[in-house]
Chains A and B, each alone.
Chain A
Amino acid sequence: MGMGLVDELRGALTDDRVLTQPLELALYARDASVMEGAAAVVCFPTTTEEIQDCVRIAARHERAVVPRGSGTGLAGGAVPVADLEPVVVVTTKMTRILQVDEDERVAWVEPGVLNLDLSRAVAPLGLHFAPDPSSQQSCSIGGNVATNSGGPHCLLYGVTSAHVLAVEVVLPDGSLALVGGLDPEPAGYDLRGAFVGSEGTMGIAARIAVRLTPVPPAVRTLLADFTTVDAAGATVSAIIGAGIVPAALEMMDAEITRAVEAYVHAGFPTDAAAILLVEVDGLPDGVEAAAAAVTDIALAHGARSVRVAQDEAERALLWKGRKSAFGAIARIAPNYYLHDTVVPRTKLVEVLRQVYEIGARHQLVMMNVFHAGDGNLHPLIVFDRRVPGTMERVMAAGTEIIDACVAAGGVLSGEHGIGLEKRDHMDKVFSADDLDAQARLREAFDPGGRCNPQKVLPAGSRCGDLQQIPAGAWI
């Protein structure tokens, strides 16, 4: 009785896995978004039971819990809301691949296993984990589950939810629930589907069963370059309209192409207005036919050239160019704000034009590197936050981008999530009744509102919701 929060946590874990020093805590005040909060204490459980202990101890002390993976999230989902003095539970020490079943093509993993580490581990079996966010070298599968992560190849293979079969969840009261199952039609509601993408508000994934996908027998990667963004956009629509679903269909605009080329030397055309990186995979004849069709469509829509990667090394280099975009822009300015919205594919060009106008109006450098095939835009604002007034212009431009995408019939996020970043924009796409339904789902998992509170849903979403959030608490 009467033991302090930290003492109890140290009793359950070990001293060195419970951080309380200000300098240590500061490392967990942010994720990869532009937002910042403050943690009261940071814990590193190594087992399911230790996660349960952390959650139960926090509950006893009436503290909120903020689950955290690698901290690569871009929507502030792992940013601890300072006023709540939350307990941050970090899963980075839970990195075991527990079981791989080659025949069933399923792996059970701990939440801290890095996305790319899993694919590397199962590569000798001819398998991989299909979701491939740009951060795949550093993001964790627990984090992928929390945000329902995407990636370039999700165009064909589907986002994380399609690759998660079951999750053992530590619920916000510390109890365990198995959601989903290894059989195709588990009884009951699809709690697995509800949990994936819940951004840490419904509990913490302690063990995850993921589907492994066979590596395709044939792959072709093409680089098409265009003198106008319009031509590249029209090509995207034409490819999909022709009944071709590439494995990936990525667009990079002139600014980002030049930045990446200077950094990676992938042979990207630095005078192009836009380039498309298209990958088709599958069986050899279908792949050759699709590659030929993509080439014809691109040329018919004004591509100056279409380069086909001749070997695996060239293919890897093209992809390195695409995935190094964020490293490349670090050479241009110290800060960036990466947005994430989805618009109907046919509106891509129109919305891109508005994005450039918004950038010009706020005197901000706007770059675009994104998943064109599924309409998933990623406007990238590059800036130096030390310049007075810059942050205000960045935030204002961000809101205008969101509004433009919503006006075009789009949604707030395709793969980063809502977190804190877009929580207060939710009413732009959902009615009070829609938000109330989402709040009910959350309440079923977390009746006390203890797990990652104040994320995803704006205050007052649940009818009769009395929770008040101090204005500006998290900036």
Chain B
Amino acid sequence: MDLTGFAEEVGNHGPVVAVGGRTQWEVGGSVEAAAREVRPPAGIVSHQPEEMIVRVSAGTPVAEVDAAVGERGQAVALPDWPGATVGGVLAVGHSGLRRLGWGPVRDTLLEARYISAEGRMVKAGGPVVKNVTGFDLCRLLVGSLGTIGLIAEVVLRVRPRPLASRWLRGEDDPFALRRRLHRPSSILWNGTTTWLLLEGHPADVDAQAAVAGGAFSEVERPPPLPTAGRQSVRPSEVAGLTGEFVAEVGVGVVHRPHPVEAAAPHPSAVELNRRIKALFDPTGRLNPGRVA
């Protein structure tokens, strides 16, 4: 199926819900049962290593993209939840464990073609790594949960795959650790134990591991993350967390083993959110029931 076919499938009337890998299906609430399921096309369109970009259809699994760009020593800074699709992780907007070092998901999207509520194909952004041509609809799409347009094809920024990558674990203060290290890829903390991901030139990784100190030893992988609840708090609030959690130090994403209440936009921004939804999807047909 090509983009035109997907646009036709979305059409211009009746409730529709875009389906990716269903790995984050509960985020933003349940979709109305009447909504018709549509799936964007899948497949890698082109990879241009020397431009540091890859163009993919939204239904492509993230793992497939990462493997393809990995053959040329590159990586894509999207979370690699098993089965997740590119369109899905962009629509959800949640970052993966490397956010501290690799930045948020929203900075990865350079161009998006999406199907509007009117069934039209709309392009946002452009296929270059730096672009201020017009308003930034790409950032609006990331995390919008398919409520203002259904992502069909994207151009993503890729980055060099680090030459070395090591997880360390130790019982040490993660906040002091962060101040000692230069741009670690990830620091996780569960209230007692700290996990640290160091990436880059092998000698630098060794040197940073030495800076981390004898309290740390190498481990295969990060701890299993609780998936029932995800909180977003100021990085300074992580130190005061209680209960069971694994928190991303320096970032403020907190993974909980129990559901947490969904956060609401700042009261002063509620009206803006409402107007955007009303202007982009006047009849409320895109992913009805979900709220970004």
A197 touches B132 (CB 8 A): yes
A283 touches B137 (CB 8 A): no
A162 touches B204 (CB 8 A): no
Given A187-B265, A191-B269, A437-B280, answer yes or no on A345-B50 (Cβ-Cβ < 8 Å).
yes
A177 touches B268 (CB 8 A): yes
A410 touches B136 (CB 8 A): no
Chain A 281-303 interface mask (CB, 8 Å, partner B; 1/0) = 01111100100000000000000
B51 beta carbon closer than 8 Å to chain A = yes
A185 touches B130 (CB 8 A): no
Q: How far is the CA of A161 from the CA of B127 in the complex (A)?
A: 18
Q: How far is the CA of A340 from the CA of B138 in the complex (A)?
A: 21
B36 beta carbon closer than 8 Å to chain A = no
B130 touches A177 (CB 8 A): no
Q: How far is the CA of A214 from the CA of B161 in the complex (A)?
A: 22
Q: How far is the CA of A457 from the CA of B134 in the complex (A)?
A: 7
Q: A residues touching B (Cβ–Cβ < 8 Å)?
A: 101, 103-104, 147-148, 150, 154, 158-159, 161-162, 171, 175-179, 181-194, 196-198, 214, 216-217, 237, 240-241, 243-245, 282-286, 289, 342-346, 371, 374-376, 409-418, 422, 426, 429-431, 433-435, 437-438, 440-445, 447, 456-457
B50 touches A240 (CB 8 A): yes
Chain B contacts of A171 at CB under 8 A? Answer: 272
Q: How far is the CA of A417 from the CA of B50 in the complex (A)?
A: 25
Chain B contacts of A447 at CB under 8 A? Answer: 275
Closest 7 CB pairs of A and B: A193-B139, A188-B265, A286-B201, A285-B203, A283-B204, A185-B232, A243-B160
Chain B contacts of A422 at CB under 8 A? Answer: 133
Least CB distance, A101 to chain B, in whole angstroms? 7
**Contacting A184 at CB < 8 Å: which of B130, B136, B253, B262?**
B253
B276 touches A441 (CB 8 A): yes
8 A-B residue pairs with CB within 8 Å: A188-B264, A189-B292, A194-B137, A214-B182, A243-B74, A375-B128, A426-B134, A443-B279
A433 touches B120 (CB 8 A): yes
A183 touches B232 (CB 8 A): yes
Residue from A158, A178, A187, A371 having most chain B Cβ neighbours under 10 A: A187
B34 beta carbon closer than 8 Å to chain A = no
B131 touches A413 (CB 8 A): yes
A414 touches B130 (CB 8 A): yes
Which residue in chain B gives the minimum CB-CB distance to A461?
B134
Chain B contacts of A438 at CB under 8 A? Answer: 134-135, 137
Chain B contacts of A182 at CB under 8 A? Answer: 234-235
A187 touches B128 (CB 8 A): no
Given A431-B123, A438-B137, answer yes or no on A179-B269 (Cβ-Cβ < 8 Å).
yes
Least CB distance, A284 to chain B, in whole angstroms? 7
Which residue in chain A gives the minimum CB-CB distance to B277?
A189
B266 touches A178 (CB 8 A): yes
Q: How far is the CA of A182 from the CA of B122 in the complex (A)?
A: 31
Q: How far is the CA of A189 from the CA of B145 in the complex (A)?
A: 9
Given A147-B132, A343-B128, A457-B134, answer yes or no on A285-B140 (Cβ-Cβ < 8 Å).
no
A183 touches B252 (CB 8 A): yes
Chain B contacts of A194 at CB under 8 A? Answer: 135-137, 139-140
A158 touches B182 (CB 8 A): no
Given contacts A216-B182, A342-B130, A438-B135, list 20 more A-B pairs with CB under 8 A: A103-B175, A161-B136, A161-B139, A183-B234, A183-B252, A243-B160, A244-B160, A282-B182, A282-B183, A282-B204, A286-B204, A343-B128, A344-B127, A412-B133, A426-B134, A430-B133, A435-B134, A437-B149, A443-B275, A456-B134
B143 touches A190 (CB 8 A): yes
A285 touches B136 (CB 8 A): no
Chain B 129-171 interface mask (CB, 8 Å, partner A; 1/0) = 1111111111110111000110000000001110000000000
Kindly identify, within residues 200 to 259 of chain B, every residue whose CB is under 8 Å from any CB belonging to chain A: 200-204, 207-208, 230, 232-236, 248, 251-253
B236 touches A103 (CB 8 A): yes
Given A240-B50, A344-B51, answer yes or no on A186-B266 (Cβ-Cβ < 8 Å).
yes
B185 beta carbon closer than 8 Å to chain A = no
Least CB distance, A111 to chain B, in whole angstroms? 18
B234 touches A104 (CB 8 A): yes
Q: How far is the CA of A414 from the CA of B132 in the complex (A)?
A: 5
Q: How far is the CA of A457 from the CA of B124 in the complex (A)?
A: 14
Given A158-B107, A426-B134, answer yes or no on A189-B143 (Cβ-Cβ < 8 Å).
yes
B273 beta carbon closer than 8 Å to chain A = yes
